[in-house]
Amino acid sequence: GAVVSQHPSRVICKSGTSVKIECRSLDFQATTMFWYRQFPKKSLMLMATSNEGSKATYEQGVEKDKFLINHASLTLSTLTVTSAHPEDSSFYICSARSPISENTEAFFGQGTRLTVV
Amino acid sequence: DAKTTQPPSMDCAEGRAANLPCNHSTISGNEYVYWYRQIHSQGPQYIIHGLKNNETNEMASLIITEDRKSSTLILPHATLRDTAVYYCIVRPPSGSARQLTFGSGTQLTVLP
């Protein structure tokens, strides 16, 4: 089946630095990808919708200047956490759905555990 | 998307069937029922989805009531590796640009 690959799987960074997370669809072209964030013992919360060739759509309360999303190709979306702070420590997950048919399942990356120290 | 209600947690003995309920009483006629699971520190994994008819695949069976207001995910022979949070989601087939909205899910613990 279709696979979504996310990299890195875990990263530790210092406060004030930026971290880039990559999300790739390996065997299908994804015009739309989604970025989620998950805090411990909580469910996934949608952060933004990444659209190939256009600006991302952010959910209410998510700072677009802090969480930069670039979807420059049909197989790659990146999320950059800028000027990271300890409260940005979380599990970040991307997903994409093959556009072949409307009711196909979404595929998720393996997630990125970000720890800001 | 229609709201779903699931029990927060369930236990199941290894080798027995795990039956996970989901209530979606406000589901619309064109909304599908999807099930995903999330093993600790991994991304969600698709399990199964359906519209009206019961569905079965290599992972599980999905039983949808005739009025479609509830469904049950059945893992026929649960193993320890099935311990995960199981999410029931309903959404319309409106194309690839619709995200999935996750509720709290059910933490299934398979006991040895």
A vs B: CB pairs below 8 A: 61
Query: B91 versus A58: which is more confidently predicted?
Result: A58
Q: For A7-51, how does the pLDDT look when each residue is reduced to its tens digit (9 = 90+)?
A: 999 999 999 999 999 999 998 888 889 999 999 989 999 999 988
Contact B100 A32 (CB under 8 A): no
pLDDT digits (tens, 9 = 90+) for A42-93: 999 999 998 888 889 999 999 999 999 999 888 999 999 999 999 999 999 9
Q: Mind giving me the DSSP string for B1-51?
A: ----B--SEEEEETTS-EEEEEE-TT--TTPEEEEEEE-TTS--EEEEEES
Q: Is the pLDDT of residue B94 over 80?
A: no
Of B94, B99, B105, the CB nearest to A49: B99
Instruction: State what percent of residues in chain A have pLDDT above 90.
Output: 72
Whole-angstrom distance, CA of residue B71 vs CA of residue A77: 34
pLDDT at B98: 66
Whether the Cβ atoms of residue A53 and residue A74 lie closer than 8 Å to each other = no
Contact A95 B99 (CB under 8 A): yes
Percentage of chain B exceeding pLDDT 70: 93
Chain B CB contacts of A97 under 8 Å are 96
Are A102 and B94 spatial neighbours (Cβ–Cβ below 8 Å)? yes
Tokens, residue B31: 């909304």
CB contact under 8 Å between A106 and B100, yes or no, is yes
User: Is residue B91 very low, low, confident or very high in pLDDT (cuts 50, 70, 90)?
Assistant: confident
Per-residue pLDDT at A1 = 58
- At A100 the pLDDT is 62
Nearest to B44 among A30, A46, A108 (CB): A108
- CB-closest option in B43, B97, B104 to A32: B97
